[in-house]
Structure 1
């Protein structure tokens, strides 16, 4: 027993975990349990060969969709480079095949084993629902980007220079006015 010792103040509180870090693993686990349960229900209703053929068809269809979307993205890139456009800036015409994200996501979801992921992948590939998903995701991302200064997208916009003729030139400003810092001279080694 010590007398006269003062209790040490409590240390800084550890940072709270975000909601996403708390609930995303639970959501993934629930999704996996649902996928396994649905596969078991289908296997009980039919047989194991049917489940295997469904999973195989999903992998083959997903690979085909991803390959097709990748070829379309490569074609758009080469066309924009040949036309002299900046490939990072999407074309103004939305009908020119500028959307390869949802088909690739749909193909990836088709390749993931499970029936729920296959249904979500097909929703991404079906044009009416794909457009709804695209517009909703664009609204959410634009709203988040507008409310969070200091993001990577904000820094990317700041790194562009606007020329008087309206063209945007990416680059970095290097000032030659500042003299270079003097080099540190180490004393010679003697031994």
Structure 2
């Protein structure tokens, strides 16, 4: 049964990310092993064990502090919302997601991941990366085709500080409905019974 929609028989083009990301992960893994081997040759197995243990402990401490800070910020936001105050907006890069990512990279065994985790703990690096990621995501969501997940997410977002308008319909229960239908009466039945 055909629906009348033309279908293409040409193979779909593979995304460059699907090609290069697995290769980059494998190259990162091989480089981490090689660097740990070089460290073992220079300082012995004890040096490798100490470096990995310090990275693990530091990563756990960083994630624990970031989690506590996130929970404190969440409780403060709820408390402000209950008292009717507007929650204070966060500065770019002050969130806990990148700090937790830095802690996770410290926990992952390896020298390059530890170095990347330490860089993510620096506030200027976090702010720069947060601006880049936010800008990239906003551009991709703005260019999302209608009906896609990105479009649905864009439609669902509400920014209170910039006054974005959310499309909808207000149905007032207190006003008596007009009996009659048509464009001149202005009455529309409710969306749900």
**TM-score, normalization: structure 2?**
0.70
The aligned counterpart of 2:112 is: 116
Change in 2 beyond 3 A, CA 1:98/1:168: farther
| Alignment match, 1:131 | 127
SS, match of residue 80 in structure 1: helix
Alignment of 1:61-100 (within 5 A): 61-84=58-81, 91-94=88-91, 98-100=94-96
Long gaps (5+) in structure 1: 1-10, 178-191
The separation in 1 between residues aligned to 2:18 and 2:149, in whole angstroms, is 21
- The verdict on how the C-alpha distance between 1:170 and 1:84 changes in structure 2, with shifts beyond 3 A counting, is farther
Q: Residue 80 of structure 2 contacts residue 87 of structure 2 at CA under 8 Å; is this kept in 1?
A: no
Aligned to 1:29: 26
Using the alignment, how far apart are the partners of 1:44 and 1:137 within structure 2?
Answer: 39
What is the alpha-carbon distance in structure 2 between the residues aligned to residue 33 and residue 132 of structure 1? 29
Q: Tell me the equivalent position of 2:140.
A: 144
Map of 1:104 onto structure 2? 100
SS in 1 for 2:53: helix
**Partner in structure 2 of residue 59 of structure 1:** 56
Corresponding residue SS for 2:30? helix
- The CA deviation at 1:131 is 1.8
Unaligned stretches of 5+ in structure 2? 1-7, 171-189
Partners of 2:52 and 2:109 within 8 A in 1: yes
Q: Secondary structure at the match of 2:75?
A: helix
Partners of 2:142 and 2:151 within 8 A in 1 = no
Return the TM-score normalized by structure 1: 0.70
Give a deviation string over 1:144-171, Cα, whole Å, max 9, x none. Answer: 2222234535313434799xxx698899
Q: Secondary structure at the match of 1:149?
A: coil
Which of 1 and 2 has greater Rg? 1
How many matched pairs?
160
| Alpha-carbon distance in structure 2 between the residues aligned to 1:160 and 1:116 | 36
Q: Residues 67-125 of structure 1: CA distance to partner in whole angstroms, max 9, x if unpaired?
A: 1111111111111112217xxx9742429x95111100100100111000001100100
